[in-house]
Structure 1
Amino acid sequence: MRLLRIVLATLLAAPLVAVGGQPAAAHGGKVTLEVAGDGGAGVTIRARYEDGHPVDNGMRLVLNGTGEGGRSVGPVQVGPSNEGVGFYRVGSLLSPGDWEITVDTPPPNPTRVTTSVRARVPQSVPPGAAGASVDAADEGGGSWWWLLGGAVVLVAGVGGLVAVRRRPAPVLARSRRR
């Protein structure tokens, strides 16, 4: 029975370990932004709090840009992308050339970042190279932890069940009446 309790406790604790122990409390304070071109005509933005945690509240950023020859874009509201928590992306926004991009965060902690970006004509993938791409989740090293955690939970559960089934049944003491 003790082994069964240990196995059940392990199975119940596994999701807590998989979360990574990040605090559930809301972050606050200054937001830092990393703004860069995406290699084509878009802009990528990474938003973090000063403590290094990604911005996870889905705030809307405002992007403005000024290019060569008086070209301009914006203001454009940028929402969170599907690439991960704290990532924002605007695709096919800029025409080819050099741009000064300014990104602002909303109150209560406004931040402004201005950076230079070189926009290029988006390139198409050459035939046969589609299988050579790297998955963004694997590149960041995050997805294999979920696989490893799942394997540990599975092995612990199966091992516990095998141990419980192989254990001999307890011998019950019989009371004797005199």
Structure 2
Amino acid sequence: MIRRALVVVAALVCTVLLGTTPAWAHGGPIAIEAHGDGGRGITATVVYTRDGHYVNVQVDMAYTAVSAAGRTVGPFPMTASNEGRGFYVSETPLPVGEWTVTVAATHPSAATKTVSVKAADLPPVGGTTPPAPAGLPTATLVAIPVALAVVALAVGFLLRRRRHARLT
């Protein structure tokens, strides 16, 4: 019995010591994953390569973009977003078009990532309301089910009254 308990305790200790990533794994090289945001912005996530955890210290990062015609813009700084740890966004939008974007970090360690991005204008938020659908007005669409419910209740009431009259 004691031998079994010692084996279980030893297995638990080994699992805890070997199964977790130590805190000292933070630091060291970082990796950048960059994307377009669907509009004219750039987003990037930054993780430590040793353990895959998001970098929770300030990362000094900027991006430069080159168009197919050879036009270069940047470098523009990227700032930490409130949307999560290790998530950075561009403050300066790209001009509309196809771009090869290189995101480069210098602190806490050097890293770069190059991606292709298509920058486009997004439709305005809360702009014009869509046109009303053609056909019946809303009042009619509400009145029809209400009228059907009233008719169904009246028919049910009359049938019940008729059946009740037959039984008496």
- TM-score relative to the length of structure 2: 0.56
**Aligned: 1:75 with 2:75:** yes
Distance 1:56 1:108 in 2: 10
1:92–1:79 Cα change, 3 Å: closer
Q: How many residue pairs align between the two structures?
A: 109
Structure 1 residues 63-107: Cα deviation after superposition (integer angstroms, max 9, x where no partner): 111113332221122221111100000145111111001011115
Distance 1:91 1:107 in 2: 19
Sequence identity (%) = 38
Structure 1: segments with no counterpart, 5+ residues? 1-21, 130-178
Distance 2:64 2:86 in 1: 19
**Does the CA contact (< 8 Å) of 2:76 and 2:92 recur in 1?**
no
Distance 2:107 2:79 in 1: 15
Aligned to 1:30: 29
Per-residue deviation, 1:48? 0.7
More strand by share: 2
**Does the CA contact (< 8 Å) of 1:42 and 1:92 recur in 2?**
yes
1:43–1:112 Cα change, 3 Å: same
- TM-score relative to the length of structure 1: 0.54
Distance 1:116 1:105 in 2: 18
1:62–1:71 Cα change, 3 Å: same
Structure 2: segments with no counterpart, 5+ residues? 1-20, 130-168
Corresponding letter in the other structure for 1:97: G
Distance 2:120 2:98 in 1: 9
Aligned to 1:164: none
Structure 1 residues 88-142: Cα deviation after superposition (integer angstroms, max 9, x where no partner): 001451111110010111156311111100000122224599xxxxxxxxxxxxx
Please state whether the residue corresponding to 2:69 is helix, strand or coil: helix
Higher relative contact order (CA 8 A, sep 6+): 1
Structure 1 residues 5-53: Cα deviation after superposition (integer angstroms, max 9, x where no partner): xxxxxxxxxxxxxxxxx97657112211111000101000011111111
Please state whether the residue corresponding to 1:106 is helix, strand or coil: strand
Corresponding letter in the other structure for 1:46: T
Corresponding letter in the other structure for 1:47: V
Structure 1 range deviating more: 38-47 or 108-117: 108-117
Greater Rg by CA? 2
Aligned to 1:53: 53
**Aligned: 1:117 with 2:113:** no
